[in-house]
Amino acid sequence: MKFFLIAGEPSGDVIGEKLIKALKAKHPDAEFAGVGGPLMESAGMDLVLPMKELTVMGIWEVMMRIPHLWRLMIGILEDIESRQPDYVISIDFPDFNFILGHKLKKRGVFKGLLVHYVAPTVWAWRPGRAKKIAQYVDGLICLLPFEPPYFEKHGLKTIFIGHPVTQENPLAGRGNRFREERKIPDGTRIVGLFYGSREEEFEKMGKVITEAAMYLHEQIPNLTLILPALPQFEYNINTITHDLDCPKYIVLDNKQKKWDAFAAMEAAIAVSGTVGLELAYADIPHVIVYKTSWLNWLLVKLLVKVKFAHLANIIVNEPVVPEYLQMKCKPEAVAGKIIDVLKGKEEGVRQRAGFAKMRDLLGLDVLEAPSDRAADFILSLRGSAPKKIAVPQKPAPQKKTGAAQNSPRPEDMPAVKTAEPKVTSSFSEARTDAQRVLYIIGAAVRFLETALQSSLSTAKSILQSVKQRTKR
């Protein structure tokens, strides 16, 4: 049995690693290839392309790299068609994976099943995606309990398996062991700083987090910082925290040390993302920060329809974790909230009560790990007929009769051949570099047109809503 997996970011690499191990346990002779990171490769996947080639943050940044991403996508498609795996499993990374999945099915060469792991957040924005992906995705794996109905009503086979964080059990960490191993004195106040898992996050949020830590150290002289990070960002961490003169401990990606480090923290500052859910599950009071370009922020405000950014807040539908986003992302405000936690005010108690509620909602009544449930679901699809995308046929040209047939018009005359490159319908059909460039530009233009139409349509709806309220 052959599997082709596609992950585009570190959280997907973690999920992919666990899934590969679960599938191998059920099918030891299974073969794995695809796009991913070091964890998936170490689990036994033949790495066709490192995921760092795909990782881009922000709408504008994606648009700037469309030609590069398009070339990579075509290469991945052709590799899948050449290998003919039984399953293609795309993991999260929806904007890239759904375009790839749709194109894969439309080309009609791949004969296997397409499964997507981590449902798109249609409950937050772009709800129309549920109906669209149901037309070509053969199975969908959801991490949150309220997600399946959004897709099942469109006929998509869907399962809720639980969030991967429940499989790792962050509550098992031992903070005392972490302190003893590093000889951290009793009475030291320990705060975690999470700078993110992308270069862009270090660039956009790094300064805010570091300055917030400086404010904390002014108020709390016996402060010690814990800095969990992926190995490839150790240099970034050392550089960005160089001017912090309090004790610092960098913890690279080691599962046991990671959860011990979490348990040693009294509070944390984190870039918005999966780590926020991990902190909440580990019962660590914290705040999240996030900044992006003004264009990205404007589009987010226009399109996103949920009240919160932090997943724990969304799950319990309450502002459990303070969110410092865009204009509110100020070092003084961030530090002030952490000081409230450290000084024993009600903030920490309030957050922990919310975390308990979240864990109840995320928990499962079965002992099976989420990755095992995901593997069982994927294998249960075997034998199902893969969904196909019908390609509309162009009508055959009608024969001309009578005088019109005998009197050729100028437009019926044969065109004069020129040396200009021809725009092809497929990247692989392009024979020259010029043709390939034209194809990429055409794809980029179509992408931009779709994005602009979506934004204009949303803006129009908002204006109409405002007008109606004004009339009232």
- CB atoms under 10 Å from CB of 211, counted, come to 17
| Sheet of 248-252, strands arranged across | 248-252, 223-229, 189-194, 267-271, 286-290, 323-325
Q: What is the pLDDT of residue 164?
A: 87
CB 333 within 8 A of CB 324: yes
CB 120 within 8 A of CB 101: no
State mean pLDDT over 372-393. 90
> Does one domain contain both 219 and 129?
no
DSSP run (H or E) holding 271: strand 267-271
Last residue of a domain, one of 335, 362, 389: 362
CB 170 within 8 A of CB 262: yes
Give strand pairing partners of 6: 35, 90
For the record, the structure tokens of 42 come out as 């170490």
More confident residue, 252 or 296: 252
Q: Is the pLDDT of residue 417 over 60?
A: no
CB 278 within 8 A of CB 262: yes
For the record, the structure tokens of 213 come out as 């830590």
Q: Which CATH number covers residue 337?
A: 3.40.50.12580
Q: Is 426 helix (H, G, I), strand (E, B) or coil?
A: coil
More confident residue, 61 or 342: 342
Kindly report, residue by residue over 93-112, the tens digit of the pLDDT: 998 999 999 999 999 999 99
Mean pLDDT lowest for which of 192-196, 392-396, 455-459? Answer: 455-459
Give, rounded to a whole angstrom, the gap between the first and last alpha carbons of the chain. 63
Q: At what angle do helices 346-362 and 274-281 cross, to 10 degrees?
A: 100
Give strand pairing partners of 193: 269
For the record, the structure tokens of 448 come out as 């931009």
Spatial distance between the Cα atoms of 419 and 417, rounded to a whole number of angstroms: 7
Q: Which CATH number covers residue 153?
A: 3.40.50.2000
> Does one domain contain both 37 and 105?
yes
Q: Is 466 exposed, middle or buried (0-12, 13-18, 19+ CB in 10 A)?
A: exposed
* 47, part of any domain: yes
* 334, part of any domain: yes
> Does one domain contain both 79 and 174?
no
* 39, part of any domain: yes
> Does one domain contain both 177 and 314?
yes
* 410, part of any domain: no
Spatial distance between the Cα atoms of 272 and 311, rounded to a whole number of angstroms: 9
State mean pLDDT over 76-100. 96
> Does one domain contain both 104 and 247?
no
> Does one domain contain both 95 and 49?
yes
The b/e string for 30-41 (b: 16+ C-beta within 10 A; e otherwise) is bebbbbbbbbbb
Q: What is the pLDDT of residue 410?
A: 43
The b/e string for 54-87 (b: 16+ C-beta within 10 A; e otherwise) is bbbbbbeebeeebeebbebbbebbebbbebebbb
pTM of the model: 0.72
* 303, part of any domain: yes
Structural domains in the chain (count):
2
State mean pLDDT over 371-398. 86
> Does one domain contain both 62 and 35?
yes
* 192, part of any domain: yes
> Does one domain contain both 246 and 326?
yes
∠ Cα 169 272 171 (to 5°): 15
> Does one domain contain both 144 and 35?
yes
Spatial distance between the Cα atoms of 167 and 159, rounded to a whole number of angstroms: 17
Spatial distance between the Cα atoms of 208 and 250, rounded to a whole number of angstroms: 19
Q: What is the pLDDT of residue 457?
A: 52
> Does one domain contain both 137 and 174?
no
Q: What is the pLDDT of residue 13?
A: 95
> Does one domain contain both 56 and 188?
no
What are the angstrom distances between the C-alpha of 284 and each of 64, 168, 175, 362?
A: 38, 16, 12, 17
Q: Is the pLDDT of residue 59 over 80?
A: no
Q: What is the pLDDT of residue 109?
A: 97
Range of the domain at 256: 169-362
Q: What is the pLDDT of residue 364?
A: 52
* 23, part of any domain: yes
Kindly report, residue by residue over 433-468, the tens digit of the pLDDT: 444 444 444 444 444 545 555 445 544 454 555 455
Q: Which of these, 141, 40, 166, lies nearest to 374 by C-alpha position?
A: 141
Q: What are phi and psi of 85, to 5 degrees?
A: -70, 165
> Does one domain contain both 130 and 181?
no
* 395, part of any domain: no
Mean pLDDT lowest for which of 30-34, 244-248, 275-279, 425-429? Answer: 425-429
More confident residue, 250 or 145: 250
CB 265 within 8 A of CB 328: no
Kindly report, residue by residue over 261-273, the tens digit of the pLDDT: 999 999 999 999 8
